[in-house]
Structure 1
Amino acid sequence: MLFSRLSLVLTLLIFGSVTAAPVPDAYTYSTLILRAPMTPAHKAAAVQVLKQVKNKLRPQPNQAVFWSGTTTKDGKLTSIRHDAGDYAKANGKETIHQALEKNNIKIPGPRNNPASTRLWDAASKIWAFRSKGETNAILGDRRPGNVYDNIEKPRLIKNPDVNKIVEHDKNKGTSSTVHQK
């Protein structure tokens, strides 16, 4: 009788611990599951791309534009990327995609190289760390775990050379200074 009560208590204790354990959000967990094996050729290609990014990706003062999220156009959900590119061109600024294209740097897609996500994250960190002066971010509806909120914005705030971050909410049509030194 004692053994069965003890077994029941231990079972309930373990079950309670398991159900109370924190679970990572779906985005974080999915990146762990979807990670494909990397071949030596993938690694070599990733190293070459990263070298190009480190050597060539240098935003000019007051010209770095960041973006994240989606907006609805003609009833369809659309990435804010092109809106950010249009904003950058109209204001003499540059997005990371425009800078990569200008410098002929091609980050491979995840189907072509499993290091793709890590390369994009590294490029985003470099873009944020090398930004100077005022930076702008064109934003839409963002998913949890997005690169701007989790990688770029924290680095912009820590960057001693960035004195102002202005966020433009494409869906609300508003702009606000979220950081100023």
Structure 2
Amino acid sequence: MSLSERERQILKNVRFFSRMHRYGGMMPAKYLLLYENDDLGRLIAADYLERVVLSTPSNTDYPGLRLGRAGAKLINEEEAPVIRDGNQDIPVELVEIMEDIHHFSRIGRYRGLMPEKKARQYEASDLEDLLNNGYVYKVKTRSPGGKKNEGYVISTKTHHLLKKLRII
């Protein structure tokens, strides 16, 4: 099955929601209203998307869609877009990691850094690339109570890049 540009965009948007833990890795039904039912139906029938329902302890059901096997395979096969920073190409996934580290460092509970436990959800090689290229620093701190904190913070270089991309 060949996909139209509109169907490819639907798959990319569903993939975007798959990284959001808040939505349980699915695109909620309220966001599906933006798309044609015919397009969604074709993608579901071809196993590019699958219907899911999240149930809560209070018996509330949240319907939505997530990538099916064929959809995940297609999206992963496509070349990852890159962002140009000076003379260096940065994959979008790395920019998303930098953005997450920035947002975690803004949460007071984490004392200005992204905890190492939270960073384990990312590929170790991606964090290694960010560390080696000076986009992220690994930090160890000790709070006044004696508690040790380990994690990551963004560098000034990353801060300027995120501002240039209008992410922050």
Both structures adopt the same fold (TM-score exceeding 0.5)? no
Q: TM-score, normalised by structure 2?
A: 0.30
**Who wins on radius of gyration, i.e. which is larger?**
1
TM-score, normalization by structure 1: 0.28
